[in-house]
Structure 1
Amino acid sequence: MALKPTLELRQGQTLVMTPQLQQAIRLLQMSNLDLSAYVETELERNPLLESDETVADAPAEPAEAAAPDDAREGTETPAGDTGETYGSGDAGAPYGESGDPGWSSLRPSGQAGGETGLEATVSHQITLAEYLSEQLAIAITDPSDRLIGVHLIGMLDDAGYLAADIDTVAQTLGASREAVERVLGTMQQCDPPGVFARNLKECLAIQLVEQDRYDPAMAALVDNLELLARRDFAALRKVCGVDMDDLKAMVAELRRLNPKPGNAYGSVVVHPVVPDVFVRAAPDGSWIVELNSETLPRVLINNQYYANVSRTAREEDKVYLSECYANANWLVKSLEQRARTILKVAREIVRQQDAFLVHGVEHLRPLNLRTVADAIEMHESTVSRVTANKYVSTPRGIFELKYFFTAAIASAEGGEAHSAEAVRHRIKALIDAEKPGEILSDDRIVELLRATGIDIARRTVAKYREALGIPSSVQRRREKNI
């Protein structure tokens, strides 16, 4: 058979991921804070985009991208449906308006650009380094020793522990090891007690010395914390040379100490989680689902500037302006689509988990991505991206959207399956309620759960118990006896 080159014409379909489509997918997965940072970058890059910081809070009409010859001052981002409701008693109840005008009021009422925000009124919280520096100025007067003290303060972590080796500090400062140890001993007497310790044992020992409670028995207990962690009280009694009553008192005293003394001050302000979606009860018993509009960026397209510049621009400049205009329109539409998609997914999750919002975690239903995707006619990957890095504020607290997706535990009676999260909560409640003389084994927990209609294996109970950080029945019995 002869081989020769030929030309063939074939027709087919392929999915092409354009750069804009890839970016739209990225926007969907971003949190509102990440999205704001991205929009700020686009505002610097695109001369046709403007941040809407001067527009009044009055509701604005949604506007599509205007034609190039439109000479309006600006085009707002299309308004998204930031509020929806549904009846909590009827899964198929129609959605209604929540009274929120949409994206027209993304700024707090009465706040203008450049106005002082809430953070300016918050009092300054002294850091651990500042607090120790004040004490250093009083405790040490020698300039060279004070220099060592300043360096040691800079080597502390947020918990107040010294994250440095003495020899390394001495070599870095060109000082003797004895001088560093002398200054360290002085600094370990500073407030809060336990600061400048190099490990947990030293931290506890410093606090006990400060309380004049560091006797030989307590020193032996501190030196054998691993036995305490294993709840091996028989070995601890032998090591410390005390009876059970004394050991109980010593352990109780040890637990009253602070293993992380620096956390009361810290050096980094921890910001709370900012919810992307709000869920609140409506007067008629339904749920209102709305986006957190204060964290959503809002941009305008300056059509007047585009029209004016396009008339006199050179041909190569017109090409650049056209690209900027297309990118601006794409960003405006992507922001609207992102808002609508997040809201749509959140509405369906709230509908599916209505019992949780009403009755609590024990009524959390098993839910997966496919169930939500099929209900709103979207792909599972889209739902997965929407729920990533997103948080919802509910009457029962703030949760990550992924929290509501849990595995199903079969019902022992053949009824509706139980959520894995609800089962974990049930296990924790059973263990919290147990008495010292009636410690529940994993087998006993299985029996109690099956009696309430939850078909679960012993190994699953053990896995959930360990995930909750709950020790075994043997360890719990030892601990509760003491």
Structure 2
Amino acid sequence: MVMKASLQLKMGQSLTMTPQLQQAIRLLQLSTLDLQQEIQQALDSNPMLETPEEDELEGRDSDRESNSQQEEPDHLSAAENDHADTSWDEPEAPADWSQENDTQDTIPDDLPVDTAWDDIYQSAPASAARNDDDNDSDFESRNHAAETLRDHLEWQLNLTPLNDRDSAIAHALMDAVDDRGYLTSSLDEIHSGLMDEADEDPVEMDEVEAVLHRLQYFDPPGVFARDLQECLLIQLNQLPPDTPWLAQARLVITHYIGLLGNRDYAQLLRRSRLKEDQLRDVLTVITSLNPHPGDSLDRAEPDYVIPDVIVRKHNGRWRVELNPEIAPRIRVNASYASLIRRADSSADNTYLRDQLQEAKWFIKSLQSRNETLLKVATRIVEHQQGFLDQGEEAMKPLILSDIAQAVEMHESTISRVTTQKYMHTPRGIFELKYFFSSHVSTDEGGECSSTAIRAMIKKLVAAETPKKPLSDSKIATMLGEQGIQVARRTVAKYREAMHIPPSNERKRLV
């Protein structure tokens, strides 16, 4: 069979993502901190972009207060002119550079929830910038590395007078301490590691135990313990001798810690020969101890969250606005833009043209990002007003497709907008994805959000009798009486997600 070459002409359509669209999508999915880094990189790499000076910002803020009806920048869309006084300034380019504004999605005027566009692109107040110098004195405390348990123990060891032999034993013991403050190796293993066949005077086990006993007085109390029982006894021994019920607490920990762990209070009362009110006082002393002494040192670096959207109630209506601190002000540099000459194809002029075009697209992408974020947040607040007014029990079921249909966008876009974006509300700061949840059908034919069910479970557990906590089956039955049909395993799943222990571990002696 002979293959024959031929030419054919076909027509077809394909979707191609332009670099500008790719940039807009990338900015849309960035978190607030990542966006600030992206803007700073753009300012460093593109000479056409700049931020206004501080005195200029102060002047504009005062002008805005004195004249709320001032003329809007030419590059804003119609919807933006109606709702915003923005600071993403773009000066007029030369006449040959005037271009038709790109069409942008507009926000519907008739929304059940008020939407504020005032100052949505505004940076932090100038007063905050002026206070930066005042905070320099706190630079060391804000930027030093967090102290670890090992650092804390080393500091105390350096202040403890020990000879070289005991110091070597102390370091060997310290190497075996985990983050909780417990020894992870037995004394036999530590002693074997210190043995040297060539040593004429080998380390004895008594020496290891003596050094361990000395280290067990280090801070935090209970450190260098080999098990929970020893950890609690170390802490009890460091309490003042006149502490009420101290002897009885030692008795319970020494002989009946197993019964205490199983919460078998009936056997504990019988064997310890304590009365119920006495055992309650003893348990108060025991529960004041720390079973994980190493956790008392906060080693985790603080994780700060900057909300992207602020929600507050104004005149009986929930008002949604973008956080003015999520991004610095940015605009096109008028001086560089004026250097572009008409019909000049030189390398310098071409470079300026390209940078100006990139600057315009970057500003438009930022505007598009904030407009989309505000539209999505507005619809979420509109749907979840019950949560804002009443709390988690009033949370309604919500999925991505519901918001996607409301704002006429694809679900993937809504997913990008709601990832790592946070909303500040009177009830706290929540990620936008927090407001989305599955649903369970009710007896009346309605739907109940899984978030609301978790809140109900938490409320039932908080109101239960400590002596007889509610089992998962009982909680499922009580929810069914309220018209919410959930299985026992579903209750268990929600309970574990909220880190609520099972009923046998919640049992308390009252």
TM-score by length of 1: 0.76
Q: Does 1:422 align with 2:452?
A: yes
CA distance in 2, matches of 1:150, 1:395: 50
Deviation at 1:158, TM superposition (A): 7.0
Q: Does 1:337 align with 2:368?
A: yes
Aligned pairs for 1:33-44 within 5 A? 33-44=33-44
**Which segment is superposed worse, 210-219 or 354-363?**
210-219
Deviation at 1:261, TM superposition (A): 3.8
- 2:50 aligned counterpart, secondary structure: strand
**Which segment is superposed worse, 240-249 or 435-444?**
240-249
CA distance in 1, matches of 2:45, 2:184: 43
Aligned pairs for 1:144-155 within 5 A? none
Match for 2:9: what amino acid? L
Q: 1:192 aligns with which of 220, 230, 233?
A: 220
Residues 85 and 96, structure 1, Cα contact 8 Å, conserved in 2: no
Aligned to 2:49: 49
**Which segment is superposed worse, 387-396 or 22-31?**
22-31
CA distance in 2, matches of 1:48, 1:186: 67
Counterparts in 2 of 1:465 and 1:11: CA distance versus 1, 3 Å: same
Structure 1 segments unaligned to the other structure (5+ residues) = 73-77, 87-91
CA distance in 1, matches of 2:347, 2:236: 77
Counterparts in 2 of 1:419 and 1:241: CA distance versus 1, 3 Å: same
Counterparts in 2 of 1:187 and 1:70: CA distance versus 1, 3 Å: farther
Structure 2 segments unaligned to the other structure (5+ residues) = 65-71, 76-89
Match for 1:368: what amino acid? I
Residues 276 and 292, structure 1, Cα contact 8 Å, conserved in 2: yes
CA distance in 2, matches of 1:35, 1:156: 41
Deviation at 1:45, TM superposition (A): 2.5
Q: Does 1:140 align with 2:161?
A: yes
Q: Which has the larger radius of gyration?
A: 2
Counterparts in 2 of 1:265 and 1:455: CA distance versus 1, 3 Å: closer
Deviation at 1:448, TM superposition (A): 2.3
Counterparts in 2 of 1:423 and 1:161: CA distance versus 1, 3 Å: same
In the TM superposition, what whole-angstrom CA distance separates every residue of 1:210-255 from its partner, at most 9, and x where no partner exists? 2376957524566x6xx866x36389969x9746768766654432
Aligned pairs for 1:5-404 within 5 A? 5-52=5-52, 54=54, 55-57=56-58, 58-59=60-61, 61-62=72-73, 64=75, 69=94, 93=111, 98=116, 100-103=118-121, 105-112=122-129, 115-116=132-133, 118=135, 120=137, 124=141, 128=147, 135-136=156-157, 138-140=159-161, 186-195=214-223, 203-211=231-239, 215=250, 218-219=253-254, 231=262, 233=264, 242=272, 252-282=284-314, 284-308=315-339, 315-404=346-435
Deviation at 1:41, TM superposition (A): 2.3
Match for 2:420: what amino acid? N
In the TM superposition, what whole-angstrom CA distance separates every residue of 1:433-481 from its partner, at most 9, and x where no partner exists? 22256543434333322222223233322322232333444554xx235
Deviation at 1:32, TM superposition (A): 0.9
CA distance in 2, matches of 1:148, 1:37: 49
Counterparts in 2 of 1:287 and 1:95: CA distance versus 1, 3 Å: closer
Q: How many residues align?
A: 456
CA distance in 2, matches of 1:248, 1:10: 86
Counterparts in 2 of 1:202 and 1:388: CA distance versus 1, 3 Å: farther
Residues 85 and 286, structure 1, Cα contact 8 Å, conserved in 2: no
CA distance in 2, matches of 1:316, 1:443: 77
Query: What is the Cα-based RMSD across aligned positions, in Å?
Result: 4.7
Deviation at 1:157, TM superposition (A): 7.6
Match for 2:444: what amino acid? E
CA distance in 1, matches of 2:279, 2:288: 14
User: Percent identity at matched positions?
Assistant: 40
In the TM superposition, what whole-angstrom CA distance separates every residue of 1:381-425 from its partner, at most 9, and x where no partner exists? 1111111011111111111111110111111122x3111111111
Counterparts in 2 of 1:315 and 1:409: CA distance versus 1, 3 Å: same
Deviation at 1:428, TM superposition (A): 1.9
TM-score by length of 2: 0.72
Counterparts in 2 of 1:46 and 1:457: CA distance versus 1, 3 Å: same
Deviation at 1:43, TM superposition (A): 2.4
Match for 2:412: what amino acid? S
Aligned to 1:75: none
Deviation at 1:360, TM superposition (A): 1.3
**Which segment is superposed worse, 465-474 or 36-45?**
465-474
